[in-house]
Amino acid sequence: MTASNTLLKSIQIQVNGTHQHRLVEPRTSLVDFIRDELGLTGTHVGCEHGVCGACTVLLNDEPVRSCCMFAVQADEMRVTTVEGLAPERGVMTKIQDAFCEKHALQCGYCTPGMLIACHALVADNPHPTEEQVRDAISSNICRCTGYQQIVDAVMYATQAEGK
């Protein structure tokens, strides 16, 4: 079957609060749709087979690997990418700020997926233990940080106010 035989499908996805109505090839993955069609290049591709977690986004508020689904499957759903985490321009979330404070990133490539996983954890569990943090990020691979400062950042963000 060649590309010309494949019918485009109409999808409606809410991405970072904005309603998007597009036509896509069924085989376009959600991550490629986000990056190429919507130009939101904050979400990254690392392996395209569901292991590294660099492509993690929130789908209806749950962290999923966007390389492991096709955009058509996300029709009528809500997607949040790293660009949609901050409440407004010029303001960062506590976790984003903590990542900066605790040096929880180096090359920045796994960071968007890592942030999504951390935000999902804290939304569900506002005061996680270190073990729970490690558990929550265990399917996001980082080759730069050795994870220590990422764990430190989440603990810093979730401990008593003003620490």
Quick check: helix, strand or coil at residue 160?
A: coil
Smallest separation (angstroms) from another protein to the CB of 74: 10
Give the chain's radius of gyration (CA, Å).
16
- Residues constituting the chain: 163
- What's the token pair of residue 55? 């492509």
Nearer of residues 110 and 122 to another protein, judged by Cβ: 110
CB distance 93 to 85 below 8 Å:
yes
Residues 25-84 that bind another protein (CB under 8 A): 25-29, 32, 35, 39-54, 56, 59, 62-65, 67-70, 72-73, 75, 81-83
Nearer of residues 27 and 127 to another protein, judged by Cβ: 27
- What's the token pair of residue 22? 């597009």
Smallest separation (angstroms) from another protein to the CB of 48: 4
Residues 100-159 that bind another protein (CB under 8 A): 100-103, 105-112, 115, 117, 130, 133-151
What is the rounded distance in angstroms from the CA atom of residue 158 to the CA atom of residue 3? 49
How many residues line the site for another protein (CB under 8 A)? 85
